[in-house]
Homo-oligomer: A and B are copies of this chain.
């Protein structure tokens, strides 16, 4: 839709570095959330696994090179835990923002315990129950994508329904990957509309069904990317399917939201608030 119609953001002519002794994902997520507050584009470089002095000095060299090239101070988002490493990076010719020293130190005081300050603690993540739940949920969501299997639906935390291409699959996978939520999904298809009933396998699980809808215009666009000019993608057909799906969800008392202008992150958060899976609070 609209990105092409918008003027691109002006360039900040700045390089942003995400520096971490691990994967750098936290540094990047945090940095992005700060940077989106500015209507500027930044050149972005991730420097993960900075876990020795040598690598830290190498990172400083890269940062200083960017300074020389850009003519402006680079911006550094760091999640380095070890002081001897962050002390090196801090000497660079950039603006240094340190997530850990800013927040971990005050927390040590509040909690009355020292932080582990262990590089690589997150490497044990693979053995954790939370991680294994996530992997299991991904496998579950894949096996229950697009109504593929009725098996073990009792195990599902949520069952998404909606017309084809309303956003069910990416949302299911995101719920699984991010939260370890077992999310099955079922397409609502013309057969269901003619019968005027949900797929019968779903009735006993109605409490955990959540619907996605979408505007017919956006749906037609998305379907045309896949099958240009087909009846499936035609606006008139999309209007029919969306209208029937919404009627059915209303009739069955199913909660739903429109995915038209929502990201999978936003859809997932809303679903978690509505469904409130047992295992934790949202």
How many residues in A have their beta carbons less than 8 Å from beta carbons of B?
81
Bound-state CA distance A174–B1 (Å) is 25
User: Quick check: is A201 within 8 A (CB to CB) of the other chain?
Assistant: no
A121 proximity list for chain B (CB < 8 A): 36-37
Q: Which of B33, B38, B43 contacts A111 (CB 8 A)?
A: B38
Contact partner of A107 (CB less than 8 A), chosen from B22, B32, B75, is B75
Query: What is the CA–CA distance of A262 and B126 in the complex, to the nearest angstrom?
Result: 6
A3 CB contact (under 8 Å) in B1, B113, B129, B265? B129
CB <8 Å contact, B281 and A34: no
Query: Is B75's CB under 8 angstroms from A123's CB?
Result: no
* Complex contacts, A45 vs chain B, CB 8 Å: 281-282
Q: Does A263 contact B (CB under 8 A)?
A: yes
A67 on the B face (CB < 8 A): no
Chain B residues with Cβ below 8 Å from A33 are 26, 30, 79, 99
Q: Assess whether B111 is in contact with A48, with CB atoms less than 8 Å apart.
A: no
Contact between B169 and A81, CB atoms less than 8 A apart: no
Asked if B36 contacts A122 (CB within 8 A), the reply is yes
Contacts of A262 in B (CB 8 A): 123, 126
Q: Does A125 contact B (CB under 8 A)?
A: yes
Taking the complex as formed, is A273 at the interface, i.e. its CB lies under 8 A from any CB of chain B?
yes
Q: Find A12's partner among B95, B111, B145, B269 (CB 8 Å cutoff).
A: B111
Is there a chain B Cβ closer than 8 Å to A257's Cβ? no
Known: A46-B281, A127-B2, A170-B177. A110 touches B23 (CB 8 A): no
C-alpha gap A269/B221 in the complex (Å) = 33
14 interchain pairs, CB-CB under 8 A: A3-B132, A23-B269, A30-B99, A34-B103, A37-B104, A38-B116, A40-B113, A48-B282, A95-B106, A123-B262, A126-B263, A138-B173, A139-B169, A173-B173
Q: Which residues of A contact B (CB under 8 A)?
A: 1-3, 6, 12, 14, 22-26, 29-30, 32-34, 36-40, 43-46, 48-49, 73, 75, 79, 81, 95, 97, 99-100, 102-104, 106-107, 110-111, 113, 115-117, 121-123, 125-129, 131-132, 135, 138-139, 142, 145, 169-170, 173-174, 177-178, 260-266, 268-269, 272-273, 280-282
Contacts A34-B103, A97-B103 given; 6 further ones with Cβ under 8 A? A6-B127, A26-B30, A29-B29, A33-B99, A44-B281, A49-B269
Closest 5 CB pairs of A and B: A37-B115, A23-B269, A26-B33, A2-B127, A125-B263
